[in-house]
Amino acid sequence: MKNVINFLERLGKDAQLKSLSAEQLSEMVNDSQLTDAVRLALQEGNVAELEQLLDTRHKIICYVVVPAEQEPEPSEEEPDENGNETKVSNF
């Protein structure tokens, strides 16, 4: 399936391929060495089918930030239960 990824990468980075019509792109897919099922998925723009054929990871989560809470006041040192000063982590 490495060929499929290479094909997609080529599509993504070649300006000439970006300007191909749907028919021209379909011809290019037909001329490729890819399997019939992959060709069909590419021609139909069927990403779900393509993911299945490539056996990719399912249910990708792409959240990478949390709704930041207000930064606490500078918390250099707080006494612990015994009255000792301890550093406080601040995430």
27 scored as a contact of other proteins (CB under 8 A): no
Rounded to an integer, what distance in angstroms lies between the CA atom of residue 91 and that of residue 58?
30
Position 42 contacts other proteins (CB under 8 A): yes
Pairing of strands 77-79, 85-87: antiparallel
Q: Does 88 bind other proteins (CB under 8 A)?
A: no
Answer yes or no whether residue 13 interacts with other proteins by CB under 8 A.
yes
To other proteins, the closest distance from the beta carbon of 70 in angstroms equals 7
Question: How far apart are the C-alpha atoms of 40 and 34, rounded to whole Å?
Answer: 10
> How many residues bind to other proteins according to rule CB under 8 A?
30
Determine the Cα–Cα distance for residues 2 and 53; give it in Å rounded to an integer. Answer: 12
- 4 close to 34: Cβ distance less than 8 angstroms: yes
- Name the residues that contact other proteins, by CB under 8 A: 1-2, 5, 8-13, 18, 42, 45, 47, 50-51, 54, 56-58, 60-68, 70, 91
